[in-house]
A = this chain, B = another copy of it.
Amino acid sequence: MTASDSGRGAILRAARKAFARQPYAAVTLRDIAAEAGVSASLIVKHFGSKEGLFDTVADFTGAADALLAVPNAGLGRHLVLTLVRYRREQGSDLLVRVVFAAGSGDERALLRERFREQVTDRVATRLAGPDAGLRAELVIAHLLGLGAVMAVDREGLAATVDPERIADHYAPGLQALIDG
């Protein structure tokens, strides 16, 4: 990895964090630059603008790959453990940044559309039985809600106890939705 690649990676990590933690309007290139340990002008050089950076970050393919990596039979538990462990290890959430894109604005609409195509619709294609589309949205609701609780109260129980214990309580309802 060249120094320039490494700067790019650090910017993307900082940007994901920033967009995952705050509404779009509150995010500044200056803050992202400070977090990434680079200059704001390097961000502009790589991504053009806040919009350009947001556009790059607004991709959920990797998150969906990780979340959907197992067969449906064990998917409920896998979803919970993957989400919780990712947050513990990375300090950010796989999905919850889409919530900050609720509201108006073109860049928000883009993020929501991507999320639907790359995550919700992909879950729906995995589900058999009646109401697959609605059940897919409710599977997503489970994950966004858990992500939200961990983001809102970082010293709370969901943010700190053994992920297996969270899965014991939270996975059965999720699995029931998957099974239909």
**A interface residues, Cβ below 8 angstroms from B:** 17, 20-23, 25-26, 96, 98-103, 112, 115-116, 120, 131, 133-135, 137-138, 140-146, 148-149, 151-153, 156-158, 161, 165-166, 169-170, 172-174, 176-177
Are B170 and A141 closer than 8 Å at their CB atoms?
Answer: yes
Interface of A is mostly: helix
Known: A173-B177, A176-B172. A144 touches B134 (CB 8 A): no
Are A172 and B173 closer than 8 Å at their CB atoms?
Answer: yes
- Which of B112, B141, B157, B176 has a CB less than 8 Å from the CB of A137? B157
Q: Which 6 A-B pairs have the closest CB atoms?
A: A173-B173, A145-B145, A141-B145, A102-B151, A144-B148, A134-B157
The smallest beta-carbon distance between A26 and chain B, in angstroms, is 5
5 chain-A/chain-B pairs, Cβ below 8 angstroms = A20-B103, A131-B169, A138-B149, A140-B145, A170-B177
Are B134 and A169 closer than 8 Å at their CB atoms?
Answer: yes
- Which of B17, B23, B134 has a CB less than 8 Å from the CB of A100? B23
- Which of B144, B153, B177 has a CB less than 8 Å from the CB of A149? B144
- Which of B23, B96, B156 has a CB less than 8 Å from the CB of A26? B23
| C-alpha gap A141/B145 in the complex (Å) | 4
For residue A165, which residues in chain B have a CB less than 8 angstroms away from its CB? 131, 134
The smallest beta-carbon distance between A120 and chain B, in angstroms, is 8
For residue A173, which residues in chain B have a CB less than 8 angstroms away from its CB? 142, 172-174, 176-177
| C-alpha gap A112/B166 in the complex (Å) | 21
